[in-house]
Amino acid sequence: MEENKTTNSSSENKQRRDRPDRPKRAGNPHRRPKAATKVADGNKVVQPKEVNGNVIVPDKDVDGNKKVSAKKPQHKSSNNNQNKKPNPNQNKNKSSNNKNKPNRNAGGRGRKKQVAGPLSDAIKASIKENQEVNDLRMNPWKQIDVGNQNKVRFTPLGGLGEIGGNMAVMEDDESAFIIDVGMSFPDETMHGVDILVPDFSYLHAIKSKIKAVIITHAHEDHIGAVPYLFKELQFPIYGTPLALAMIENKFQEHGLMEHVNKFNYITKRKQYDVGSFKIEWMHNTHSIVDACSLAIESKAGTFIHTADFKIDHTPIDNQTMDLQRFAHYGAKGVLCLFSDSTNSHNPGFTKSEAVVGKTFDTLFDLAKGRVIMSTFSSNTHRIYQAMERGIAAGRKICVIGRSMERNIETTRRLGYVDISDKHFIEPHEVPKYAEEQVLVVTTGSQGEAMAALSRMANNEHRHIKLKPSDTIIISAHAIPGNEGSVSALMNRLVKAGVTVRYKDFENIHVSGHAGQEEQKLILRLVQPKFFLPVHGEYNHINKHAQTAIACGVDKRNILLMSDGDQIEISTKYLKKVKTVKTGKSFIDNQNNKEIKLDIIEDRQKLSIDGIVNIAVQINKSTKKIVGKPVISTHGLVPDKEDKRFAHEIENIIDTFLINADESKIASSKVIENELQGIVRKYIVRTKRRYPIITPVVFMV
């Protein structure tokens, strides 16, 4: 004991280095004993006391009020608590002042918790009712009677896996109808082809069931193939006045005016009986006047088809999208939604058509000479905005291009465009006016070879010769597949020395198709059970499907279709049942006639491998060539090698005739077939090409 007293006394008298006026904490009799330590591999490890994973920090009492002592910074990273010195005043009043107070900083020990009472029956009932209401609000399709045994089949015949050529068939056991009959553009390998129209084979197979053709709007990729269908099959056509007026123009060109008696002009928000279906047209906003979506009621349930759309809250004609009807049908329960996927990769919203007008204001102010504006001939609002700016700038309007002239005249006749005749001039009148007084509205924004703008760029147009003072406004983006044609047009225009306004101005063109946020809005308004994305290439519909999943559509209730896939839809399932024949017919617009596939293939072969023509006379008795054979090539060998190549082919023919038995020279036709095979083998071996070979043999 004496020894211990001495030790304690010496430690108490020892001064602290940080506070010389206070003794070391180790001498404080009230200090809590240190926790036991563990030894691991010879290193002493301090185990701090924990409560629920939190290290307990000792409290400091000041005048009966508990305060948490501030933690002093440590200079060593390990064993922070090992050399901590005791504070003699730490627990000075703890036993008296804080005897009955819980330690609120020690993991909540001793805290008095409030325990909520049990939920009343009224609250439980209210929560349950709200859950049921929310579930029905977010999944209104649950109102659909799952005991309904009826089925509907949907078959896209165009517009999937491609841009354009939109066409589909919806049918049940009793009747069917067609949604749009559109055309698409050829690629660069389809020489001499102006447009492509869908294959109508499946329509022939079910023609007895088809009750009508339903038109959503008047764009070429939705109505361009109607005349070609009517040359084979005729059905009643339902559509808005503008759509049917534009189809009538096509019928006039094709000599089909006797079929205009099948036109049925619809009123929006009104249901029409089409076989066993009831169809309502709902106004939407797009890059053409009078575009519509469809609400289709069948025995199996309700379907919504958006067709092409965007949600424009400030359209030029102030006719906004009829979102109220989408919500109306959505609340009743929609079995399946078909929705436009063209811009499904574009985040956000598509800009309003009104922003283009502001860009036109800037471009017209910058233009010093003539303004030549080119866009899609069916984009009525774009054309109307340009003409308004032209009139405000004191310019006369000259419309050039057959489709442009026809569409503007039609929209003016129907009252969609209100511009007086006094503002228009004919192409031959353009030289009579000063350059700053002329606005030319023309076709050719896609670089079409025969369009007016292309002929101007090639200096081939009869009335308009481009000048360096001219400003060309191309208010359109290249359709996928037309990028090369548009680029070539741009090069020719720049070489002509004119000022070209294209992509250098941000809002010179806006799309007519919905971005992701607009697609989400439709999905949330309709809340369908099943979803089938339409209109676009496979990557577009796949992206739209992902957006639908994010909006609450079960991924098991979505299918990605291709042209010809027949999808069966009932209240219980969505599945592919078969594939029908699809394809394209090739049309020459110069005579509005179809070009057969073998002709297209020959043209492709000629463009790649060339042609070899052989004309030879053969003596049947001597089996020798009479005179000199005529051998010519195109697209195979250069001109300077023609003679050598002809000599090689002549030697091949001589060798064949010497070694041929009687069966191989029995007739001209037999010799021609033999020569064709022999010459082809030689050219494949030496030139690595597969040209068309046309031998002509005369027997003497």
Exposed e or buried b per residue across 112-132, where buried means at least 16 C-beta atoms within 10 angstroms of its C-beta: eeeeeeeeeeeeeeeeeeeee
Q: Give how many domains the chain has, as a whole number.
A: 4
- Bridge partners, 473 (sequence order): 373, 501
Average pLDDT score over residue span 173-201: 91
CB 287 within 8 A of CB 222: no
Average pLDDT score over residue span 112-130: 87
- What are 590's two structure tokens? 């110069």
Residue 28, pLDDT above cutoff 70:
no
- DSSP code of residue 533: E
Pick the more confident residue, 700 or 429: 429
Q: What is the dihedral of CA 280, 282, 288, 289, to 10 degrees?
A: 90
Residues 6+ apart with CB under 8 A from 324: none
Any idea which of 190-194, 571-575, 634-638 has the lowest mean pLDDT?
190-194
Sign of the CA dihedral running 224, 226, 231, 233: positive
| Residue 397 amino acid letter | I
633 within a domain of the structure (yes/no): yes
- What are 291's two structure tokens? 């575009």
7 within a domain of the structure (yes/no): no
Give pLDDT tens digits for 628-664: 889 999 999 998 998 999 999 999 998 888 888 888 8
User: Of 303, 301, 304, 296, whose CA–CA distance to 277 is shortest?
Assistant: 296
DSSP state string for 593-656: EEE-HHHHHHHHHHHHH-EEEEEEEEETTTTEEEEEEEEEEESSS-GGGHHHHHHHHHHHHHHH
Residues 284 and 226 in one domain: yes
Residues 176 and 260 in one domain: yes
C-alpha count within 13 angstroms, C-beta hemisphere, residue 273: 2
pLDDT band with cut points at 50, 70 and 90 for residue 464: very high
Residues 614 and 693 in one domain: yes
Q: Among 40, 73, 107, where does a domain finish? A: 107
Residues 340 and 411 in one domain: no
Residues 475 and 518 in one domain: no
- The most confident of 107-111, 158-162, 204-208, 404-408, by mean pLDDT: 204-208
Residue 330, pLDDT above cutoff 90:
yes
CB 235 within 8 A of CB 210: yes
User: Of 41, 28, 162, 46, whose CA–CA distance to 88 is shortest?
Assistant: 28
Per-residue pLDDT, 93: 46
Which CATH number fits the domain that encloses residue 285? 3.60.15.10
Residue 627, pLDDT above cutoff 90:
no
Residues 273 and 335 in one domain: yes
CB 473 within 8 A of CB 363: yes
Residues 290 and 386 in one domain: no
DSSP state string for 148-190: ----EEEEEEESBSBSS--EEEEE-SS-EEEEEE--B---TTS
Per-residue pLDDT, 434: 94
CB 26 within 8 A of CB 86: yes
Per-residue pLDDT, 281: 98
Q: Among 461, 480, 501, where does a domain finish? A: 501
204 within a domain of the structure (yes/no): yes
Residues 183 and 330 in one domain: yes
pLDDT band with cut points at 50, 70 and 90 for residue 27: low
567 within a domain of the structure (yes/no): yes
User: Of 324, 317, 248, 246, whose CA–CA distance to 280 is shortest?
Assistant: 324
Rounded to whole angstroms, the Cα distance separating 289 from 286 reads 7
- What are 278's two structure tokens? 């009831």
Q: Which domain holds residue 49?
A: 24-107
Instruction: Collapse the DSSP code of 436 into the 3-class scheme (helix H, G, I; strand E, B; otherwise coil) and give the result.
Output: helix
Per-residue pLDDT, 508: 92
Per-residue pLDDT, 699: 85
434 within a domain of the structure (yes/no): yes
| Residue 587 amino acid letter | I
CB 374 within 8 A of CB 445: yes
pLDDT band with cut points at 50, 70 and 90 for residue 550: very high
- What are 180's two structure tokens? 């749009």
Q: Among 73, 91, 107, where does a domain finish? A: 107
Which percentage of the chain shows pLDDT scores above 70? Answer: 84
User: Of 442, 479, 474, whose CA–CA distance to 195 is shortest?
Assistant: 479
Residues 187 and 279 in one domain: yes
Residues 535 and 643 in one domain: no
Which CATH number fits the domain that encloses residue 686? 3.10.20.580
Sign of the CA dihedral running 225, 227, 228, 230: positive
User: How many residues does this entry show for the chain?
Assistant: 700
6 within a domain of the structure (yes/no): no
117 within a domain of the structure (yes/no): no
Residues 626 and 542 in one domain: no
137 within a domain of the structure (yes/no): no
Give pLDDT tens digits for 75-113: 444 444 444 445 545 444 444 444 455 555 544 566 777
Rounded to whole angstroms, the Cα distance separating 691 from 693 reads 6
User: What residue has token string 């208010």?
Assistant: 475
Residues 193 and 339 in one domain: yes
